[in-house]
Chain A
Amino acid sequence: MHRLPSLALIALLLPTAALSYEGAVHREEVDGGVHVPVLTKPPALVHFEAAVYPEEAQREGLAGDVTLAVTIAADGKVADAVVTGPAGHGFDEAAVAAVKQFTFTPAEVDGAPAPIQIEYVYHFTLEVPDAGSAPPPPPPQATLKGRLVARGSRKRVIAGSVRCGNAADAPEAVSDEEGLFALQLTPGPCAITATANGFEPYRTSEALEPGETREVVYYLVPKAIGFETVVRGEREKKEVVRRTVERQEMERIPGTFGDPLRVIQNFPGVARAPAISGALIVRGASPDETNIFMDGVEIPILYHLGGGPSVVNEEFLDHVDFYPGGFGARYGRAIGGAVDVATRKGASDTWHGAAKIDFLDSSFFLEAPVLPGVSVAAAARRSYVDVLIPLVQPDNSITAVPRYWDYQVRVDWGSSRKPVAGQPMSSFYLMAFGSDDILKVLATGGFRNRDINLDVHTLFHRVKGDWTYRSGGFSSVFAPFLGYDLGEASFGISKLKADQYSIGFREDASLEVQPWLTARAGADVMFEHLVGTAELPLLSGVQYAGFPGAEPAAPTQSLQRSPNTFDGALYLEADFKLGQLTLTPGVRSSYARVYGHDLWATEPRFWARWQPFKRFAIKGSAGLYSQPPESTDMDAEPFGTPTLHHEWAFQTSVGVEQKITDVINVDLTGFFNRRYDRVVAPGLTTDDENGLSHTDRFGNLGLGRAYGLEVLLKHELTKEFFGWLAYTLSRTEQRRVGARDYRLGTFDQTHILTAVGSYRLPHGWEIGARFRYVTGRPYAHLDHTYDVVSMDTTGFSCRRQPADSSRFPDFNQLDVRLDRSWLFDNFTLSVYADVQNVYNAQNIETYFNDYRCREEVPVPGIPVLPVLGVKGTF
């Protein structure tokens, strides 16, 4: 018996963890004026070399599959072939010898030939030949046409193989960018095998009549449900620390209430915020010192109601960049860190969508190509806890009704066009997004002495445009925006309202002047018109000298303020690549006019990166960062202090990066930040010309410093696993100008340890866990030896131990998440359970004390808290 070898070609692409395309193969990616390479054409096999069937295996009647990592050079020749899935029995050596003689059409990156690495499976099968010479197959007289689609997501499977039979010369077709294939074959029964990298082989049988053309759709089952990554090249890193999280990672982090953006709180450098608060406390900076951007446009909040779900649907996210400090000159108006949430464009292959339900809210997401080259994506979410609470609330109690919703809509055009070498490229998108939060607290009637009727409403809307232009080594992103923000609160006869209208633009340009010199420049301009109105009683202590403890009936006043704020900045950076060393000086210069006062700031910044080895780099940065005061704080006296100026920070850091394997890397960063001219209250006390002393409401009198070490050991997203271990050792201190000593910052946490991981199990299961251990923040316990009471206010004064004398107990918590997905032809159904505080750790969040300040009562944090959710995607 003569056994012949056969093979199946499974071509797949991409370095490291990439698995499949999302829709169109091409997507413009420009990050801050820095272009990110995109695969525009996969390689295709043009010369196949048959392997010599190993004698030993043939003798024993063995078959086998050998998986190889094949490196294809830019000329299409095979530069290297390494066995990654051996079969033994001589198959491995035979496969390597054959594959090294393959020839491909070169892969193209950004329209130009480029080296690439693919996964290739060489199948060795035995078949019994007919006795005597086999007659040639009859000419194909039937056509099998169709499309390969990923089961559950309906994404088109590109470069998949469809074969009729297992013979070496069996008819075969390869699916194109739309997943379409056309197979000419001999009429009659045919064993069809459809294969593609990352998918289970699909087998069926077809029996075609002579002359028949049959159309089919084959749904291939992914080897790993859910995880898919986007082709993207490595973005050059200028900053010492930029933590980037992909959407797939964000969706699976336990303990985040199913909210991807909370992943930021698990990175080193971020202190644990109390309870479920979403406050970002970055390297000791207060939350309002870290700016949040969405596609480069500032947004006022990241989480609904201060601690609820994030304001962006998770399906809209592409990735999040988090800078704990030392960010580039394109970002400003912050002396802490920066978070830039990047959205993604809609699909260009077909309709896709997702719908999600949990105990808090429901959301949907839809994306589709609407015209050639035009795609649309839209999402919305609405809470329903405001409907459920009144149903379970007992009568005569306080009703707190929170409600929130958000939306995002994005239209892209021009981005799916394939680049042509030497031709300029433009892509555009228009995006509208917004968020709305309401909290009503109502308690009336009964034996109650005071009715409670509190209404708080905050919202924001943004409309943003984006024009990305590329030509050769020059790229530019121009992004204008319009915005509207509202904050209003009413309680009783008092009403506060602030309407803010904003307009602005951002321009980021990059030019590769020489291979060793890239220059970046840009502008960041905005104008805000705030209309603030208030109806409230005259303010005791501010407008008149109220007697301590007095709560008189005071006349109501109407106040209105309309401050305008203009803030325009220009920036310049240049990368000097001197061999292994890259030096990047930069400067950001701004002019602001706030409440009629001119404020100037110039912020020089510098980064350096030395990469002596491919997997090792040393980096450092130093620079000045400024933040203008709030316009409302610059109001005329007695409400504000018009003479305020910028707050400042001098930030430095130094670190090392080591790539341990292709998917495991470690990053160590030491940092020192000094903050000064911070706005604090009260301000300066001075004597006026009459000799009367006067104290300003606010003053630039705050000083702060933070220093420490951050460690991140990360396993990148692969087919089965991702995770990281983050550790921060830090100290945050603050004082006021004139005070002798620094004292610990409010959220100083010496040790912060976070371990996060998620592992994909067979049959659609996935399990993840997050463990946190955080040492306590400073707390001054009561120090009671006698009562101190005011007869006029009835209030007792609490005497406390020295400010830095003790700390809260250490915090520890384990959160676990379990996902189960079911794949159907046209959709995927997922159910998840996210359980916070699995072992019910009794963490103390704060203390309340009795009225005489004699005893403290600890307030525990959240107990075991399960969140269940259901999500369908198609």
Chain B
Amino acid sequence: MGRARSVLVAVVTAAAAGCLSIPDDPTTVHDLRVLGIATDPAELMAPVCPTISGGGIAIPQEDLATYTASVTLTALLVDPNGGGRPISYELFACSSLGDRTCEKESETVLVTSGQTTAGVFTYTFRPGTILLPNGTPLLAQVLENDTVYHGLGGIRVPLVLHVGAQGEEIFAQKIMLYSCQFFADQRANVAPALPGLQLNGEPWPADPGVLPLSGRGPFRTLPDDLTPLEETYVVPSIPDQEGTVSRIDLVESWKLSWYTDYGTFSSSTTGGTDAAGRESRHNNEWRLPATPEERDVTYWVVVRDGRGGLSWSTWRAHYTP
């Protein structure tokens, strides 16, 4: 009965939030932002999966080569009003998912640092070979810190990109996933890629194409059908009281995040399947400011598959009122 009342309170709170004018729309990019970080590959899966009695995995010592493979980290840094200013960066790897800024020095390693500018930042390294200051392998420490799942969800290594420019500072965390083939038909994740986008029902060519737009709209966007691209995958369950781990078959439900450097989108995120089992559609609408002006407009759509895979696409338009 108490939980039903909690639902009522949540509904009323959500309704109240909808009535308030919250400043700074998340879909409008007007300062330094990290819109996405992708790792390639999205997941490193070892073919062998040593398990621990009681429910958990151990690092497959027989196949460390999989875990020590190279990973390319790519970040989308956007700074539309920065005028090309230099952006400092530091890339950390640490051992606890809850440590969003890699504060715990004893379990943090600075991977690289330097300066860059807005755009796509890329760095290739081997996270699986990182040793903490005390000599403990990073992956081993991450697995030891996973007191809840003991690696059944994979060894989730937090990578934190710290960027800054003229007082603006961002810590952006991206999980690099190291897993093993618990079930024979498990496959490593393939990063998602948006097949295409439509504007008012017509195909919208991606960057470097520039689409001329004019008038008051509406400017309705919709991605091409994503259903054929959403992978099915299998994960192990949490052990039951007898210690048995069973298989759980899931289907990806991609989520899209929408951004622009002029105007707003009606929804900041579309997609995903909620607790009610309903998959969200991806209808969206680009809205102009109250007094629009002629200018170039950039749009970004970041797609996430919910398994660590991430990518983005860019579109451009030239708007005339």
Chain A interface (Cβ < 8 Å from any Cβ of B): 277, 288, 300-301, 305-306, 398, 400, 439, 441, 447-451, 453-454, 456-458, 485, 487-489, 491-494, 496, 498, 536-538, 542-556, 636-638, 685, 688-690, 692-695, 785-792, 794, 797, 848-852, 854-855, 857, 859
Given contact pairs A498-B1, A791-B174, a sample of 18 additional A-B residue pairs in the complex whose CB atoms are under 8 Å apart: A441-B11, A447-B283, A448-B283, A450-B281, A487-B1, A489-B3, A489-B4, A491-B276, A543-B237, A544-B238, A545-B153, A548-B175, A552-B306, A695-B147, A789-B172, A790-B172, A794-B257, A859-B20
Number of A-B residue pairs, CB cutoff 8 Å, is 214
How close is B150's CB to chain A, nearest CB, in angstroms? 6
Can you name the residue of chain B whose Cβ is closest to the Cβ of A849? B22
List residues of chain B with CB within 8 A of the CB of A694.
Answer: 147
User: Are A456 and B169 CB-contacts (below 8 A) given A544-B236, A547-B153, A552-B273?
Assistant: no
Known pairs A789-B171, A857-B22; A543 contacts B248 (CB<8 A) = yes
Q: Chain B residues near A536: list those with CB within 8 A.
A: 275, 277
- Please state if B274 and A450 are interface contacts (CB–CB under 8 Å): yes
- A788, B248: Cβ atoms closer than 8 Å: no
21 residue pairs of the A-B complex, CB under 8 angstroms, read A277-B9, A398-B15, A447-B283, A447-B285, A450-B278, A451-B278, A489-B3, A551-B274, A552-B273, A553-B277, A554-B250, A689-B54, A786-B164, A787-B169, A787-B170, A788-B170, A789-B171, A791-B37, A791-B310, A792-B174, A792-B304
Among the 9-residue stretches B64-72, B84-92, B203-211, B264-272, the one with 4 or more Cβ atoms under 8 Å from chain A is B264-272
- Does B23 sit at the interface, judged by CB under 8 A? yes
Docked-complex contact A400 and B306, CB < 8 angstroms: no
Distance from B129 Cβ to chain A, minimum over Cβ atoms (Å): 22
B290 close to chain A: CB less than 8 A? no
Within 8 A of A (CB), among B148-202: 148-150, 152-154, 156, 164, 169-175, 177
User: Do A449 and B174 contact each other (CB < 8 Å), given the known contacts A547-B307, A854-B24, A859-B20?
Assistant: no
Known: A536-B275, A785-B169, A791-B34. A688 touches B310 (CB 8 A): no
Q: Which of A488, A498, A547, A556 has the most CB of B within 10 A?
A: A547
Given A537-B277, A542-B238: A458 in contact with B4 (beta carbons within 8 A): yes
Q: How many angstroms between the C-alpha atoms of A537 and B248 in the bound complex?
A: 11
Question: What is the CA–CA distance of A305 and B274 in the complex, to the nearest angstrom?
Answer: 25
Known A544-B237, A787-B170; contact A555-B249, beta-carbon cutoff 8 A:
yes
A106 to B21, CA, bound (A): 73
Q: Is B251 an interface residue (CB 8 A)?
A: yes
Task: Flag whether B308 is at the interface (Cβ < 8 A).
Answer: yes
Least Cβ distance of A412 to chain B in Å?
A: 30
Q: A543's contact among B21, B238, B282, by CB below 8 Å, is which?
A: B238
A227 to chain B minimum Cβ distance, whole angstroms, is: 36
| Residues of chain B with a CB closer than 8 A to A305's CB | 8
Report the Cα distance A498→B267, complex, angstroms.
Answer: 36
Measured between alpha carbons, how far is A496 from B5 in the docked complex, in Å? 13
Known interface pairs A537-B275, A794-B257. Does A692 touch B308 (Cβ–Cβ under 8 Å)?
no
Give Cα distance in the complex from A849 to B20, angstroms: 11
Residues of B within 8 A of A637 (CB): 241
A673 → B minimal CB distance (Å): 22
Does residue B47 face the partner (Cβ distance < 8 Å to A)? no
A794 to B302, alpha carbons, bound, how many Å?
Answer: 10
* A308 → chain B closest CB, angstroms: 10
B52 and A690 contact, CB distance less than 8 A: yes
CB neighbours (8 Å) of B237 from chain A are 543-544
> In the complex the two chains form, is B24's CB within 8 Å of A852's CB?
yes
- A494-B276, A790-B100, A857-B23 given as contacts; is B253 within 8 A of A553 (CB)? yes
Select the residue from B52, B237, B251, B275 with max chain A CB neighbours within 10 A.
B275
Distance (whole angstroms) from the CB of B211 to the closest CB of chain A: 21
Residue in B11, B26, B220, B270 whose CB lies within 8 Å of A449: B270
**Residues 1 to 41 of chain B near chain A (Cβ within 8 Å):** 1-5, 7-9, 11, 15-17, 20-24, 26, 34, 36-37
Cβ of B3: which chain A residues have Cβ within 8 Å of it?
Answer: 487, 489, 496
